[in-house]
Amino acid sequence: MSARPNDYAAYPDANGRFGMFGGQYVPETLMPLVHDLTAAWGAAKTDPAFKAELDGYLKHYVGRPSPLYFAERLTKHFGGAKIYLKREELNHTGSHKINNCMGQILLAMRMGKTRIIAETGAGQHGVAAATVCARFGLPCIVYMGAVDVERQKPNVFRMNLLGAEVRPVTSGSATLKDAMNEALRDWVTNVEDTYYLIGTAAGMHPYPEMVRDFQAVIGREVREQIMEAEGRLPDAIMACIGGGSNAIGIFHPFLADEGVKLIGVEAAGEGMDTERHAAAINGGRPGVLHGNMTYLLQDTEGQITEAHSISAGLDYPGIGPEHSWLHDVGRATYLTATDLESLDAYKLCAELEGILPAIESAHALARVGDVARDVGKDGIVVLNLSGRGDKDVATVAAHLGMRI
Amino acid sequence: MSTSRIDARFAALKAEGRAGFVAYVMAGDPDYATGLAILKGLPGAGADLIEVGFPFSDPMAEGPPIQRAALRALGEGMTLSKTLEMIAEFRQGDQTTPIILMGYANPLVSRGFEAFAREAAAAGVDGLIVVDIPPEEAGPLADALDAAQVSLIRLATPTTDDERMTVVVRRTSGFVYYVSVAGVTGVKEADAAVVAPHVTRVRKASGLPVAVGFGIKTPERAAAIARVADAVVVGSALVDEVALAAELNEDVTSRVLSKVESLSKAVRSARVGQTTTV
């Protein structure tokens, strides 16, 4: 890689590549649609009217800006750097997912599309997609692995209440990757009227770039808020990583600030010494799936292997291509946290701060003590609290051996 | 040289004034031995060309029949290496029937394009179709295949307009595969009247024979397509026979081959008595 310092924000290149990662590995039937989308997104992103419309909905419907909150008791507990939480869990629908959905639904309507499809793992993206579809009166079909339908029942019911049809996917491992396969099969079948609202910064170009840009509102706000609170940029920014949209959203506005460490936390499941994890960068190698080249969990023959995480939102064998690239060029660091470490962090955050974090976000919380101590007492760490944890109480109870 | 097997077969078909029948089978479905027996029996049952699918865990453009076939094969330990072994075994007894490998990018990326192309050529593979490598991403693969003299077969679809067609047919050889419906394999039905003008369009843009597939399940439908295309591909209906034979406790090989016979017969006789050639 020959990327110069401060040059990171120039990616992807014209071919949708972040170094060797990204690209457009899709069936020929979809290529014209992907090109249409690239053109429509290219026009929208430079259109002041599009930005004004999106900003309006983000403010009045989503509830932005989300607060940047000094977590005093967590800070004291770990005894290191000051820990700030970016409160994305306070957004409408309870996670960062709505930022992207609001942007994409406006784009879909601009393109004249009349039917929305989406995939979901934990159901947070499905709920956000169903929400914007309800708001703008468009039919919404959400593909969800049958295993996830079972472990995230409240979110399935929420989607139904919002008028979306949830289609359980039983093929393959019946989790997020299979939901994405099924959504792609729907799109290739309904090429005239359908818009595929991908929930993370992965898939074929332009999705990784587009979803990142919609989520970058998180990092832009953090920049302003931390300057106001501390008069300087933070020493480290942390986020959990499944596909990696909340992480790239908070990282991206800081890529050029080499003094700001960017730290992603992947799901180590039952441990990195087992095969039951979902850490694509720490436990995978580059390959092609769902339209892009990126780090993937796979066997020696290139078959995709099943991911495992207590968190349905991180239970995916791949990762967004920009993260693969930031890892390879060394601009970001990717740590891991196990199921048990994340459960402990979930409880700690609840007890010390009065905030139930999403079990996804709890993966980042599981490493925040290490990072805060590493940065040291005079330092500042910002952690993206990407979602709220009410949806996870049944999972947490089960792991604590309790019935609720 | 391997490319010539495809060219020679289409030249022979043209001389006979008929369309070719292309049988798609999933390598190692339901197991290696049976898969090999089916492969060996296909030319005798009337397959003019053979497409051999190599299984992938996440086949995003396949309908349920081929998804299930891939899972059966993977469950029996089928791999890309074993697929090539199987083709090499087939080649020992058949030097003329073209073999086209069909599948998804990641097993090839995992192997490395150069190594794969060399091994494929050595095994007797004539062409390759990769569903999720469009022309935009095909450069490195095309280079490797060119060096090994294996044809890169391209897919054209109902969403391919004239402008894009010039991109699609670049660096392709052997034939072009026209996907007759927008959708996954084995679900929607192909309509010969709708397909015909597209076949003409693809043929004109590529200067190559055009095979039509996706959504062709019955001898009647195959015959209708055979009147307008240079070759007819049937896949899902054949792999469904594998599942059905297992369910009915029948011999898988004979059940698949008898389906191939009925389909190829329909294709062979489709243009008999037809005065105009296509």
Q: Could you read off the pLDDT tens digit of each residue along chain A, which spans 404 residues? A: 444 555 888 999 999 999 999 999 999 999 999 999 999 999 999 999 999 999 999 999 999 999 999 999 999 999 999 999 999 999 999 999 999 999 999 999 999 999 999 999 889 999 999 999 999 999 999 999 998 898 788 899 999 999 999 999 998 888 889 999 999 999 999 999 999 999 999 999 999 999 999 999 999 999 999 999 999 999 999 999 999 999 999 999 999 999 999 999 999 999 999 999 999 999 999 999 999 999 999 999 999 999 999 998 898 999 999 999 999 999 999 999 999 999 999 999 999 999 999 999 999 999 999 999 999 999 999 999 999 999 899 889 998 888 87
**Same domain (yes/no): A31, A169:** yes
Chosen for mutation from A175, A298, A303 (greatest number of chain B CBs closer than 10 Å) is A303
For residues A390 and A346, state if they share a domain: yes
Of A191, A211, A231, the one marking the end of a domain is A211
Do A196 and A281 sit in the same domain of this protein? Answer: no
Residue A13 lies in a domain: no
Residue in B67, B157, B184 closest to A28 by CB:
B157
Residue that finishes a domain, picked among A211, A242, A271: A211
Is residue A255 domain-shared with residue A304, that is, in the same domain?
yes
- CATH number at A43 reads 3.40.50.1100
* DSSP secondary structure code for residue A388 in this structure: B
Distance from CA of B265 to the nearest CA of A (A): 30
Residue B56 confidence (pLDDT) above 90: yes
> Do residues A161 and A147 share a domain?
yes
User: Does residue A62 contact residue A214 with C-beta atoms inside 8 Å?
Assistant: no
Residue B242 is assigned to a structural domain of this protein: yes
Phi/psi at A169 (5° precision): -110, 120
Residue B276 inside a domain? The answer is no
Q: A70 with A192, same domain?
A: no
Using the Cβ of A185 and the Cβ atoms of chain B, whether some distance falls under 8 Å is answered with: yes
pLDDT at A6: 55
Q: How far apart are CA A33 and CA A38, in angstroms?
A: 9
Do B98 and B126 form a contact (C-beta atoms < 8 A)? yes
Listed in sequence order, the DSSP H helices in A46-91 are: 48-57, 72-78
Per DSSP, the residues of A283-315 read: H-EEEEETEEEEEE-B-TTSPBPPP--S-GGG-
Domain range for A153 is 24-57+97-211
Instruction: Provide the angle, in degrees to the nearest 10, between the axes of the packed helices B252-269 and B236-248.
Output: 150
The residue of chain A with its CA nearest to that of B116 is A301
DSSP bridge pairs for B101: B52, B128
Q: Is there a single domain that holds both residue A48 and residue A143?
A: yes
pLDDT above 50: residue B1? no
ipTM: 0.95
Distance from CA of A367 to the nearest CA of B (A): 32
DSSP-based helix, strand, coil % in chain A, nearest 5: 50, 20, 30
Asked if the structure places residue B277 within a domain, the reply is no
Residue B49: strand pairing partners? B22
CATH number of the domain enclosing B157: 3.20.20.70
From first CA to last CA, the distance across chain B in angstroms is 28
For chain A, the domain total comes to 2
Contact B58 A178 (CB under 8 A): yes
Q: Is A286 on the interface with B (CB under 8 A)?
A: yes
Q: Which of A182, A209, A386, A391 is catalytic?
A: A386
- Residue B30: inside a domain, yes or no? yes
Asked whether residue B278 is domain-assigned, the answer is no
Domain count, chain B: 1
Chain length of chain A = 404
* Tokens, residue A179: 């939901």
Cα–Cα distance, A286 to B99 (Å, whole number) = 29
Chain A residue with the nearest C-alpha to that of B62: A185
Q: Is residue B11 part of a domain?
A: yes
Q: Helix or strand or coil: residue A133?
A: helix
Assess A307–B contact: CB distance below 8 Å, yes or no: no
pLDDT confidence of residue B275:
55
A280 shares its domain with A149: no
Nearest-Cα residue of chain A relative to residue B59: A181
Residue A113 appears among annotated catalytic residues: no
The verdict on A24 touching B (C-beta cutoff 8 Å) is yes
The confidence score (pLDDT) of residue A175 equals 85
Residue finishing a domain among A211, A243, A262:
A211
Q: What's the domain range around B221?
A: 3-269
The residue of chain B nearest to residue A174, with distances taken between CA atoms, is B58
With tokens 């051996």, the residue in question is: A401
Respond yes or no: is residue B51 known to be catalytic.
yes
Q: Is A30 helix (H, G, I), strand (E, B) or coil?
A: helix
Residue A15 domain flag: no
Which chain B positions have a beta carbon within 8 Å of A24's beta carbon? 134, 136-137
Whether A184 sits inside 8 A of B60 (CB atoms) is yes
Active site residue A341: no
Answer yes or no: is A14 within a domain: no
User: What is the rounded distance in angstroms from the CA atom of residue A310 to the CA atom of residue A155?
Assistant: 16
Cα separation values, A145 from A177, A305, B57, Å:
8, 16, 15
